[in-house]
Amino acid sequence: MRLVPKGYHSVLDAGALDGYYSLQLTQYFDSVTSLDLTEPKVQHERVSCVAGDLTRLSYPDNSFDVVFCTEVLEHIPALEQAVHEIKRVAKHAIVIGVPYKQDIRVGRTTCVKCGKVNPPWGHVNVFDEHKLERLFRPFRLIQKSLTGINSERTNPVATWLNDLGRNPYGVYALPHRCMYCGTGLETKPSITFIHKVCSALGTRLSKAQSALSKPHPNWIHVVLER
């Protein structure tokens, strides 16, 4: 919130989920639009809640002084379309928060219904400051903040072994769902002895890779202006 541009009237909280940040944004904006695929339930006189798709916004160009979008873009397969829409409706500035240089091969899950492999937490995109600058041109990056520590790394062999072992040590938790069939990913798949051997080898290789890797920040937040 320290990075949020001040002195503007309106803001779009794109991908608001439960509206936590929408409420925080009322400290700095007269008008806050809280948007998610399912309409957020926020009770505040300066917050308007709407259901909408970030890749197909119904608003005219330059509708909001600022667009605020955190913990969202890593989940969207149609990334460039979502970025296009954010740039289109942002009149002055954009605030973006995403995982930083995440290795999305770590923590993969195997769906118990269709058997397909999903990335951790449904994260399908990886970011650093250079990618964000490229995606959001002609907006200019004027501030950035790097937070947290992450040393999780793996390699192709460990990833292959864990996939063969049905990824029993992946991120299995509600409300995540399979990207392919929509089944909840809270249940770990059943595994045989061979699966256990494969996943044990893969996990040990991943841990060794992480131990040899240089830690880096976990999150990046940037402010971009026209």
CB count in 10 Å sphere of residue 52: 18
Going 208 to 148 to 67 to 130, the CA torsion angle's sign is negative
Query: Three-state DSSP class for 102?
Result: coil
Are the CB atoms for 177 and 116 separated by under 8 Å?
Answer: no
Which pLDDT does position 162 carry in this prediction? 98
Tell me 1's DSSP state: -
Which pLDDT does position 174 carry in this prediction? 85
Report CA 109 to chain centroid distance, whole Å: 17
% of residues, the chain, pLDDT over 90 = 98
Alpha carbon distance 115, 199 (integer Å): 16
And the tokens for 39? 């309409």
Q: Mean pLDDT of successive 10-residue segments in the chain (226 residues)?
A: 96 96 97 97 96 97 98 97 98 98 97 97 97 98 96 96 97 92 96 97 96 95 97
Look up residue 49 and give its amino acid. C
Which pLDDT does position 171 carry in this prediction? 94
Which pLDDT does position 208 carry in this prediction? 96
Are the CB atoms for 148 and 218 separated by under 8 Å?
Answer: yes
Are the CB atoms for 56 and 189 separated by under 8 Å?
Answer: no
Look up residue 179 and give its amino acid. M
Which pLDDT does position 16 carry in this prediction? 97
Query: Three-state DSSP class for 114?
Result: coil
Q: Degrees (nearest 5) of the Cα angle 153, 179, 19? A: 85
Alpha carbon distance 132, 77 (integer Å): 16
And the tokens for 50? 């709407």
And the tokens for 41? 């339930």
Q: Which residues, including other chains, have CB under 8 Å from residue 208's CB and lie 6 or more apart?
A: none
Which pLDDT does position 175 carry in this prediction? 86
